[in-house]
Amino acid sequence: MGIQHYFIRKKIKLALTSHEMQLQKTELSKIRNVALLVDESSSFNYTFFKQLQKQMDLDDTHFNILTIKHKKSNYNEFKGVVLLTNEVNWKGDIQSPELRHFLDPQYDLLIDFIPQNTPLKQLIVAQVKAKMKVGYADNNPEFYNIIMKVEPTLMDVFISELVKYLSILKII
């Protein structure tokens, strides 16, 4: 896996540089479209999704959800894109057209609910075009604008704190 990590790291650095240049030209505005990043180890579930929707006062049409899975299964708790970890080749290129479709739009907010800090997750976070990115404190801070120092299992706290900060910024 060493060569794949090398190429993924190169793509991450390129995407982060591009994102930093983009942020310098962007103003925050009311949040209308949100990207959510989850995986099988995340505590985030459909109940928390509904709670987040209610607190942000947005319906389903304003959310795009990407679920990262290690094995193919028919079950997906969320309507959205599923990325299998093997859909990224050894050069770090994404083979999934659905993921490309997820990465194309400009989002107002990306919320990363994945507690582990993996190269694949970093690659996706770096490539998502979002005005603001939120993640856990254990994750690499260079990827996020807001870092939540909350245990990944305390999803209620994470959501309420996030909504509090977004309200302070007057973007929800």
Residue pLDDT, tens place only, 70-129: 888 777 788 889 998 888 888 888 888 899 899 999 999 999 999 888 899 999 999 999
pLDDT digit string, tens, across residues 146-158? 999 999 999 999 9
39-50 exposure pattern, b = at least 16 Cβ within 10 A, e = fewer: beebebeeebbe
pLDDT-based confidence at 20, cuts 50/70/90?
Answer: low
pLDDT > 70 in the chain, percent: 94
Determine how many CB atoms are found less than 10 A away from the CB of residue 82.
18
**Residue entry with tokens 């479209």:** 33
Distance CA 154, CA 5 (A): 31
| Total domains, the chain | 1
**Per-residue pLDDT band at 42 (split at 50, 70, 90):** confident
Place of tokens 């994470």: 158
Residue 24: pLDDT band by 50, 70, 90 thresholds? Answer: low
User: CA-to-CA distance for 33 and 144, rounded, in angstroms?
Assistant: 17
Contact 110, 126 (CB under 8 A): no
90: domain range?
Answer: 2-168
Whole-structure pTM value: 0.88
Residue 141 has pLDDT above 70, yes or no: yes
Q: Which two tokens stand for residue 58?
A: 């947005």
CATH label of the domain that carries residue 68: 3.40.50
